[in-house]
Structure 1
Amino acid sequence: MNWTDVFATRTLRMKASEIRELLKLLNQPDIISFGGGIPDPDLFPTAAFQDAIVSALNPGNESSALQYSVSEGYGPLRDWLATHMTALGIPCVRDNIMITSGSQQALDYLGKLLLSPGDTALIGWPTYLGALGAFNAYEPHYDRLDPGSNRSAEDYAQTAQSKGGRVKFAYASVDFANPTGKTLDLSERGAILDLAETLDIAVIEDAAYQALRFDGEAIPPMLALEIARKGNIEACRTLYCGSFSKTLAPGLRVGWVCGAAQVISQLVLTKQAADLHSATLNQMAIETVASTIFDQHTGMLRQTYKARRDAMLAALSAQMPEGVEWTRPEGGMFIWVTLPPGMDAAEVLQHALTHQRVAFVPGQAFHADGSGANTLRLSFSLADEAEISEGISRLGQAIRAVRG
C-alpha cells in the first residue's frame, strides 16, 4: 500500500524535531551536548517522588490512582495550582485550570481549538520549535509578532485576510524564552495585550520557564496584567500554559492551562476526545511533591542553573572569535548565539560533531520562514561548569575552522 496517498494533507507540514534527533547524541559519552533543553536528572527530587508514589498506591488511594478519572485533572492538584497562580497575580479557582500531558499538549490543543486552515498565528521570530510543531498540523500561516515595532493591527488583519483567513492568536514565550533566553519586558507584554484587544484574538502565554529567574525583578505574567486591567479572569483573552517539566519531573508529563472557564470547558472536550485524561498517578505524585517542596526545590534549581549560566557566559566571552554575539538571559536554560553574516550554523554543527565532539541546535529550525541560518541555541542546563568551559572552547574552535 502507498500510505502517502492516504495521509492527510496536514502531514506534509509535520517534520522531525532537530532537537529530538540531537538528544540521541546524549548516549555518546565523548560528546559534550548543549543541544537538548532538558533538566539535569541529578537534580530531580527522586526520593520525594518515590514517597509520593508509594503514598498514592497505599490502601484507600489505589483505586483513585489507577482508575479512570475526570478530564479536567486531579482536583487537589488543580486546587494547588489555583493557589500558585493566585500568588503570581492571577486569582482563579480550579474551574480555570485543566491538567495536560505537559505544556506541549496544551499548545496542541490550543492549536486545534483556535486554528482553521488558512488562519494566521502571530509568533516570535525565532520561536519555540515545539510550538511550530504543534500548530503546523492545523495548517496556519505565520506572521511575525514584534511588540517593539510600529506595525498596526490593521496591517496584521489585512495580511491575514490576503492569505485566506484571519488572525486567531498571538503566541509568546514570555520569560527566558526558548530558544533565545530573552524576556518580554512590561511594555512589550502590554503591547501584545493591546494588539490582541484591537484584533479581538487570543493570547497564548507560554510560561514554561517562569519559575527559573536568577537575576532581576520578576515581571507579572501577561494574564496577571490583563486581570489587572479587566478585574476578572473570566473577562480575559490570555491563556497561560505552565509545566512541571522544567521544575520537578519532565518524564511525568504534567502541565496545565489556566484561563477563562469558558475556554477551559472547551479544552476539556478536546481532551476527552484525545486521551480522556492525563495519568492520575502522575498527577497525584506531582501534587504531593509540589505541595511540600516546590519552593525549596526551585530555589535549588535557580542556584545551580545560575552558576552554569554564568560559566557559559564567561566561557563565551573568553572563547568566541570576533563577530560572534550572544544573549545574556536572566534565567531559564538557553543562550542564543548569532554568528557573523554568511556563516551557516548547520555547517558548524557538522564540523563540531565530527572534529570537536560538541553539539548544539542550529537556529534555522526555530524560524517559521527558514531564516536564521547564522544562529544557534546553546543550553546550559545539563552540563556542569567544567564541561561548559571545555565545550565552549571546542565550539570556538569549530567556528574558527568553518569561518577559515
Structure 2
Amino acid sequence: MNWTDVFASRMERMKASEIRELLKLLDQPDIISFAGGIPDPALFPAEAFQAALADALSPANQGTALQYSVSEGYGPLRDWLATHMQGLGVACSRDNILITSGSQQALDYLGKLLLSPADTALVSWPTYLGALGAFNAYEPQYDRLGAGGNRSAADYAETAQAKGGRVKFAYASVDFANPTGETLDLAARSSILDLAEDLDIAVIEDAAYQALRYDGDPVPSMLSLEIERKGSIEDCRTLYCGSFSKTLAPGLRVGWVCGASQVISQLVLMKQAADLHSPTLNQMAIATVAAAHFESHTAMLRRVYAGRRDAMLAALATHMPEGVTWNKPEGGMFVWLTLPKHLDAADLLRLSLETQRVAFVPGRAFFADGSGANSLRLSFSLAGDAQIDEGMRRLGVAIRAAV
C-alpha cells in the first residue's frame, strides 16, 4: 500500500524535530551536548517523588490513583495551581484550569481549538520550535509578531486575509524564551495585549520558564496584566500555559492551561476525545511534591542554573572569535548565539560534531520562514562548569575553522 496517498494533507507540515533528533546524541559519551533544554536529573526531587508515589499507591489512595478520572484533572492539583496562579496576580479557581500532558499538549489543543487551515498565527522570529510543530498540524500561515514595532492591526488583518484566512492568536514565550533566552518587558507585553484587542484575537502566553529567574525584576504575566485591565479572568483573552517539566520532573508530563472557563470547557472536550485525562497517579505525585517542596526546590534550581549560566557567559567571552555575539539571559536555560552572516549553523553543527564532538541546535528550526541560518541555541542546564568551558573552547575552534 502507498501510505502517502492516504495521509492527510496536514502531514506535509509535520517534520521531525531537530531537537528530538539531537537528544539521541546524549547516548554518545564523548559528545558534549548543549542541544536539549533538559533539566539536570541530578537535581530532581527523587526522594520526595518516591514518598509521594508510595502514598498515592497506598491502600487508602490506590483506588483513585489507578482509576479513570475526570478530564479536567486531579482536583487537589488544580486547587494548588489556582493558589499558585493567584500568587502571580491571576485571580482564578479550579474551573479556570485544565491539566494537560505537559504544556506541549496544551499548545496542540489550542492550535486545534483556534486554527482553521490558512488562518494566521502571530509568532516571534525566532520562536519555540515545539509551538511551530504543534500549530503546523492545523495548517496555518505565520506572520511576525512585533516586526518593525509599528505594524497596525489593519495591516496584520489584511495580510492574513490575503493568505485566505484571518488572524486567530498571538503566541509569545514571555520569560527567558526558548530559544533566545529573552524576556518580554512590560511595554512589549502591553503592546501584544493592545494588538490582540484591536484584532479581537486570543493570546497564548507560554510561561514554561517563569519560575527560573536568576536576576532582574520579575515582569507581571500577560494574563495578570489583562485581569488588571478587565477585572476578571472570565473577560480575558489570554491563555496561560504552564508546566512542571522545567521545575519538578519532565518525565511525569504534567502541565496546565489557565484561562476563561468558557475556553477551558472547550479544551476539556478535546481532552476527553484525545486521551480522557492525564495519568492520575502522576498528577497526585506532582500535587504532593509541589505542595511541600515547590518553593524550596525552585530556589535551589535558580542557584544552580544561575551558576551555569554565568559559567557559559564567561566561557563565551573567553573562547568566541570576533564577530560572534550572544545575549545575556536573566533566567531560563538558553543562550542565543549569532554568527557572522556568511556562516550557516547547520553546516557548523556537522563540522563541530565531526571534529570537536560538541552539539547545539541550529537556529533555522526556530524561524517560521526558515531564516536565521547564522544563529544557534546553546543550553547550559545539563553541564557543569568545567564541561561548559571545554565545550565553548571546542565550539570556538569549530567556528574559527568554519570562517
For residue 26 of structure 2, what is the aligned residue in structure 1? 26
- Structure 1 CA distance for aligned equivalents of residues 271 and 302 of structure 2: 33
Structure-1-length-normalised TM-score: 0.99
Q: 1:136 corresponds to which letter in structure 2?
A: N
CA contact (8 A) 1:157 1:166 kept: yes
Q: Deviations 1:87-121 (Å, cap 9, x if unpaired)?
A: 00001000000000000000000000000001000
For residue 268 of structure 1, what is the aligned residue in structure 2? 268
For residue 75 of structure 1, what is the aligned residue in structure 2? 75
For residue 334 of structure 2, what is the aligned residue in structure 1? 334
CA contact (8 A) 1:147 1:191 kept: no
How many angstroms does 1:342 deviate by? 1.0
Q: 2:244 corresponds to which letter in structure 1?
A: F
CA contact (8 A) 1:148 1:188 kept: no
- Structure 1 CA distance for aligned equivalents of residues 118 and 390 of structure 2: 47
SS at match of 1:63: helix
For residue 253 of structure 2, what is the aligned residue in structure 1? 253
For residue 351 of structure 1, what is the aligned residue in structure 2? 351
CA contact (8 A) 1:325 1:338 kept: yes
For residue 367 of structure 2, what is the aligned residue in structure 1? 367
SS at match of 2:71: coil
Q: Deviating runs (4+, > 6 A) in structure 1? A: none
How do residues 66-105 of structure 1 correspond to structure 2 at under 5 angstroms? 66-105=66-105
- Structure 2 CA distance for aligned equivalents of residues 8 and 347 of structure 1: 33
CA contact (8 A) 1:147 1:192 kept: no
How do residues 31-180 of structure 1 correspond to structure 2 at under 5 angstroms? 31-146=31-146, 149-180=149-180
- Structure 1 CA distance for aligned equivalents of residues 222 and 393 of structure 2: 39
For residue 278 of structure 2, what is the aligned residue in structure 1? 278
Q: 2:377 corresponds to which letter in structure 1?
A: R
SS at match of 1:143: strand
Unaligned residue ranges in structure 2 (runs of 5+): none
CA contact (8 A) 1:89 1:224 kept: yes
- Structure 2 CA distance for aligned equivalents of residues 115 and 163 of structure 1: 14
- Structure 2 CA distance for aligned equivalents of residues 86 and 148 of structure 1: 35
Q: 2:169 corresponds to which letter in structure 1?
A: F
- Structure 2 CA distance for aligned equivalents of residues 356 and 243 of structure 1: 34
Q: 1:36 to 1:11 in 2, by over 3 A?
A: same
SS at match of 2:36: coil
Q: Deviations 1:290-341 (Å, cap 9, x if unpaired)?
A: 0000000000000000000000000001110001010100000000000001
Q: 2:378 corresponds to which letter in structure 1?
A: L
How many angstroms does 1:281 deviate by? 0.1
SS at match of 2:205: strand
How many angstroms does 1:60 deviate by? 1.5
For residue 7 of structure 1, what is the aligned residue in structure 2? 7
Q: 1:239 corresponds to which letter in structure 2?
A: L
For residue 184 of structure 1, what is the aligned residue in structure 2? 184
CA contact (8 A) 1:352 1:395 kept: yes
- Structure 2 CA distance for aligned equivalents of residues 100 and 252 of structure 1: 11
How many angstroms does 1:148 deviate by? 6.5
- Structure 2 CA distance for aligned equivalents of residues 240 and 222 of structure 1: 8
For residue 194 of structure 1, what is the aligned residue in structure 2? 194
For residue 391 of structure 1, what is the aligned residue in structure 2? 391
Does residue 292 of structure 2 align to residue 292 of structure 1? yes
Q: 2:323 corresponds to which letter in structure 1?
A: G
SS at match of 1:378: strand
- Structure 1 CA distance for aligned equivalents of residues 95 and 54 of structure 2: 28
How many angstroms does 1:204 deviate by? 0.1
How many angstroms does 1:146 deviate by? 1.1
Q: 1:32 corresponds to which letter in structure 2?
A: I
Alignment coverage as a number of residue pairs:
403
- Structure 2 CA distance for aligned equivalents of residues 107 and 99 of structure 1: 12
SS at match of 1:138: coil
SS at match of 1:191: helix
SS at match of 2:287: helix
Structure-2-length-normalised TM-score: 1.00
How many angstroms does 1:245 deviate by? 0.1
Unaligned residue ranges in structure 1 (runs of 5+): none
Deviates more, 1:179-188 or 1:140-149: 140-149
Identity of aligned residues (%): 77
- Structure 2 CA distance for aligned equivalents of residues 277 and 384 of structure 1: 38
How many angstroms does 1:147 deviate by? 6.9
